[in-house]
Amino acid sequence: MRPFKRPAARTRALLTAMATGSLATAGPLAASTAALAQPSPAFMKLMRTPVIPPQPGYVAPRISEDYVRKLRKLPDWNGSWATTGGLLLDPVNKYEPPNNDEAFDTGPLEGSRLTAVPYKPEYQKLYDETIERAKKGEITDPVGGCRQPHAMPRQIGGSPGGPEIFVTPDEVRMTWYWFNATRRIYTDGRPHKSGDDLVSSFMGDSIGRWEGDTLVVDTIGLNPGIYDRTGAPYSDKIHVTERIRMIAPDVLEDRMTMEDPVMLTRPWTVTRTFVRTSKVQEFEGAYCEGGRLEMVNGVQHLVLPAEAGK
């Protein structure tokens, strides 16, 4: 053990002056430290102002008897879930041309398509052109280039791997290892954000309510995007409604209805099914950390490590 060393006389004098409040009369020592001893009014005002003001209406959950009682009434969806039915958003669709393979990380291979999307003619044409470009090897999926998360509604069924789900009285939270994506479905009775408070995002603003053992979810405020790797587009006016329920032990069904007044002629409903694989926590994904795909003029290009930065 190192021996204790008494502070120098000058340091002891400063400590004594600070402890007794006599710094202003501590002789020459005070002259060099007076500025530090007297914070400016602006600094004191800053210290009295919260950096992040509390959010109106938010109350942190407390583990009370009432909280536990509400928790026990909720269905047990906690754990990790695997997607069934492949990575086309709508598993009822078949591959065109027929294709029994899928890219492990990003979904259907080039040339696959969704055949049941009720597009308006101009957007069906846009989708057809995307398919033809894909057949020539031009892939424009920003997810494959590590440029953005899968987003909703693609996150449900059109992405590899299912969610890990946490159910609480005020919120159902879903997380995915790919991109470490997180979706929050609020069930505490709050309304949707509106006006300037509704800022579009990849996951959107999701509000849920329980109807027995069924979670009804309403999602708005989404960024424009694509339903899956095939490039089927949707607009920023898309509105997604879900009915999520357990249909068998460890089997979860999500019945999604997409309404898009810009691109669709009518609502489009897709049903996805998940199987619970375990109640063990998922690991964090790092697939796009140091990704090697670059987007040039909207097309993906592989960049080898030795070529990076050139």
| Residue 153, preceding peptide bond in cis (omega within 30° of 0) | yes
Q: What is the pLDDT of residue 195?
A: 94
Tell me how far apart the alpha carbons of residues 300 and 140 are, in angstroms, rounded to a whole number: 6
Q: What is the pLDDT of residue 147?
A: 77
User: Does residue 126 have a pLDDT over 70?
Assistant: yes
Contact 252, 163 (CB under 8 A): no
Radius of gyration of the chain (CA): 28
Name residue 31's amino acid: A
Q: What is the pLDDT of residue 304?
A: 56
**Residue range 248-252: average pLDDT?**
96
Give the model confidence (pLDDT) of 38-70 as tens digits.
666 665 665 665 556 666 766 666 678 888 899
Binned at pLDDT 50, 70 and 90, residue 34 comes out as very low
Tell me how far apart the alpha carbons of residues 87 and 178 are, in angstroms, rounded to a whole number: 14
Q: What is the pLDDT of residue 157?
A: 87
Binned at pLDDT 50, 70 and 90, residue 275 comes out as very high
The strand pairing partners of 79, in sequence order, are 165
CA angle 156, 162, 166 (to 5 degrees): 95
Tell me how far apart the alpha carbons of residues 80 and 166 are, in angstroms, rounded to a whole number: 9
Tell me how far apart the alpha carbons of residues 9 and 15 are, in angstroms, rounded to a whole number: 10
Give the model confidence (pLDDT) of 135-156 as tens digits.
887 877 888 777 788 999 999 9
Q: Which of 28-42, 44-58, 263-277, 285-299 shows the highest mean pLDDT?
A: 263-277
Binned at pLDDT 50, 70 and 90, residue 133 comes out as confident
pTM of this prediction exceeds 0.75: no
Q: What is the pLDDT of residue 149?
A: 86
DSSP 87: S
Question: Which segment of 97-106, 146-155, 156-165 scores lowest on mean pLDDT?
Answer: 97-106
Give the residue among 168, 6, 14, 177 at the shortest CA–CA distance from 80. Answer: 177
Q: Which residues contact 88 (CB under 8 A, 6 or more apart)?
A: 95, 107, 108, 112, 114, 158, 228, 230
C-alpha neighbours within 13 Å on the C-beta side of residue 16? 11
Contact 102, 91 (CB under 8 A): no
SS3 state of residue 76 = coil
Contact 177, 161 (CB under 8 A): yes
User: Does residue 15 have a pLDDT over 90?
Assistant: no
Question: Which segment of 138-147, 169-178, 207-216, 235-244 scores lowest on mean pLDDT?
Answer: 138-147
Which is more confident, 239 or 57?
239
Tell me how far apart the alpha carbons of residues 268 and 266 are, in angstroms, rounded to a whole number: 6
Spans of all domains in the chain: 79-302
The strand pairing partners of 271, in sequence order, are 255
Q: What is the pLDDT of residue 19?
A: 47
The first and second tokens of residue 144, run together, are 């494959």
The first and second tokens of residue 12, run together, are 């002891």
Q: What is the pLDDT of residue 115?
A: 86
